[in-house]
Amino acid sequence: MSTDDLPETIHVTTEEQLRAVSNLTRHRIMAVLRFEPATITQIAERVGLAKGSSSYHVRLLERAGLVKVVRTRKVRGVVERYYAMAARAIALPDPGEGGPDVLMRHAVADLEASPVESRNVRMAHLRLTDEQFAELAARLQALADEYRNLSDPSLPDASLVFALFHPAPGEQAEGDAK
């Protein structure tokens, strides 16, 4: 099954779905399933879990409708299930003012766990008009979509995370307020 056959987006709307995506281990399992189906054994190896733990987390994701069985095969009398994402992307509800952004927490955890030599992290403080802000947001999204479409499942994973936002009042760097 290719990712072309999947719906574009699943919108997380239930408490069960939100609990399922809020867990870092399940986030990492979904990352394994992003481009190609995998068995519980393959998931366990790639995420570094015991098979039982992987099975537990995959079942929760499946019940929440975020992953699904896409094919089965018999191996030595046992049915082996291949799981895949149920959509190309998952859209989370806005966390609301002061609420934790689950995706960013997971992204930071993945970044901190990545080898230092494989990181390319930059931060820029900008001053933009509303139009420039909107244009930059659209260009970043288009660039991410372009490279997602170029992704080859046979290549190593790379994660792209961007956040374009207006800091909360009072959060400006010293010297910016002058």
pLDDT value of residue 4:
57
Of 37, 42, 68, which is closest to residue 54 (Cα–Cα)?
42
Rounded to two decimals, the pTM is: 0.68
pLDDT value for 34: 84
Q: At 96, list the tokens.
A: 């609301």
Asked if 106 contacts 85 with a C-beta cutoff of 8 angstroms, the reply is: no
For residue 158, pLDDT over 80 is answered with yes
Q: pLDDT-derived band of residue 1, with 50, 70 and 90 as boundaries?
A: very low
What is the pLDDT at residue 41? 95
Paired strand residues for 114: none
Q: What is the pLDDT of residue 149?
A: 84
Cβ partners under 8 Å of residue 25, min gap 6: 47, 49, 53, 57
Residues 39-67, mean pLDDT to the nearest whole number: 95
Q: Is the pLDDT of residue 174 over 60?
A: no
**Residue 97: which pLDDT band, with cuts at 50, 70 and 90?**
low
Pairing mode, strands 89-91 and 9-11 = parallel
Residues 57-74 pLDDT 10s: 999 999 999 999 999 998
Higher pLDDT, 4 or 12: 12
Give pLDDT, residue 96. Answer: 64
